[in-house]
């Protein structure tokens, strides 16, 4: 994929979107998300704690301001790659009910899908291809992974995500604390919650050979470290997205 200046951009670099969490027009946090299409409707995929502003286990407000967001501002790509437009989507309806769709198990699965409303003609969506979860690449412990997001709210110029590297830290097929998730060891920072996590191989090795086509497998959604003093973070498996969106027809979302 190339920009108007013929600069090469990885196809996955256009999928991660910069999010600002806002309450009464005041920015109280940064995060990452990506769009998927389901039944012709675009949904923003990110973490429950990102949109709710609360800890998914304790329900405590996370922002030091004591506020929770009511709007998410999304830096969408414009029709011309390399330019962006900012659009705001409400997080609650007129009855103050959350607009996002949760997992059937609720906030204990820290992933949600928000149906997007503010997608006008000047916005170009680059949906994440969920079939990448089925690519024939077997994830194993100690394998390098990439987390594609916005650490500390930082971006590659001007608003492309940063690819941070870590390693798989627990057996991917084993459920962490009985949930559909596994662990990675990576130096991550705030702002990366909601980032897609992938593994990539080129020609059967991890070496970067630009003339070869890389194989990429989608591993899941990053949702932060398991402890403030640890570099161990949690990744929710791709299946949770399907579990969430499969409710759309049932919930009327």
pLDDT (tens digit, 9 = 90+) per residue, 36-71?
Answer: 999 989 999 999 999 999 999 999 999 998 999 999
Asked if the structure places residue 22 within a domain, the reply is: yes
Please tell me the predicted confidence (pLDDT) of residue 202: 76
First-to-last C-alpha distance (Å) of the chain: 33
Statement: residue 4 has pLDDT above 60: no
Asked if the structure places residue 222 within a domain, the reply is: yes
Dist CA 54 CA 61 (whole Å): 4
Mark whether 25 and 64 lie in a shared domain. yes
User: 227: which residues sit within 8 A by CB, 6+ positions away?
Assistant: none
Mark whether 141 and 109 lie in a shared domain. no
**Number of C-beta neighbours around residue 49 at 10 A:** 23
pTM value? 0.93
* H/E stretch holding 242: helix 239-245
Give tens-digit pLDDT for 178-223: 999 999 999 999 999 999 999 998 765 444 444 456 899 999 999 9
Residues 162-170, mean pLDDT to the nearest whole number: 97
User: 67: which residues sit within 8 A by CB, 6+ positions away?
Assistant: 23, 26, 28, 53, 61
Residues 229-242, mean pLDDT to the nearest whole number: 96
How far is C-alpha 64 from the geometric centre of its chain's CA atoms? 23
Mark whether 83 and 156 lie in a shared domain. no
Percent over 70 (pLDDT), the chain: 92
Structurally, the chain folds into a number of domains equal to 2
Residue 36's domain comprises 11-127+242-251
Mark whether 108 and 89 lie in a shared domain. yes
Q: Residue 209 maps to which CATH number?
A: 2.40.10.10
Residues 112-131, mean pLDDT to the nearest whole number: 94
Please tell me the predicted confidence (pLDDT) of residue 211: 47
Please tell me the predicted confidence (pLDDT) of residue 120: 85
Q: Residue 62 maps to which CATH number?
A: 2.40.10
Residues 116-128, mean pLDDT to the nearest whole number: 93
């Amino acid at each position: 994929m190339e920009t108007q200046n013929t600069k090469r951009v990885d196809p996955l670099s256009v999928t991660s979107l910069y999010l600002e969490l806002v309450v009464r027009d005041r920015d109280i946090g940064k995060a990452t998300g990506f769009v998927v299409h389901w039944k012709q409707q675009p949904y923003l995929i990110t973490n429950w704690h990102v949109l709710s502003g609360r800890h998914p286990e304790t329900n405590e407000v996370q922002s030091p301001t004591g506020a929770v967001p009511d709007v998410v501002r999304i830096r969408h790509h414009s029709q011309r790659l390399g330019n962006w437009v900012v659009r705001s989507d409400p997080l609650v309806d007129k009855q103050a009910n959350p607009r996002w769709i949760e997992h059937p198990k609720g906030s204990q699965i820290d992933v949600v899908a928000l149906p997007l409303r503010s997608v006008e003609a000047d916005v170009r969506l680059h949906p994440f291809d969920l079939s990448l979860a089925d690519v024939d690449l077997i994830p194993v412990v100690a394998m390098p992974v990439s987390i594609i997001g916005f650490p500390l709210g930082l971006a590659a110029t001007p608003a492309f995500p940063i690819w941070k590297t870590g390693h798989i830290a627990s057996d991917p097929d084993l459920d962490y604390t009985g949930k559909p998730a596994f662990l990675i060891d990576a130096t991550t920072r705030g702002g990366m919650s909601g980032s897609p996590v992938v593994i990539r191989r080129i020609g059967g090795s991890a070496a970067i050979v630009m003339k070869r086509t890389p194989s990429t497998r989608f591993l899941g959604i990053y949702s932060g470290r398991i402890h403030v003093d640890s570099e161990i973070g949690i990744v929710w498996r791709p299946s949770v997205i399907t579990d969430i969106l499969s409710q759309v027809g049932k919930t009327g979302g």
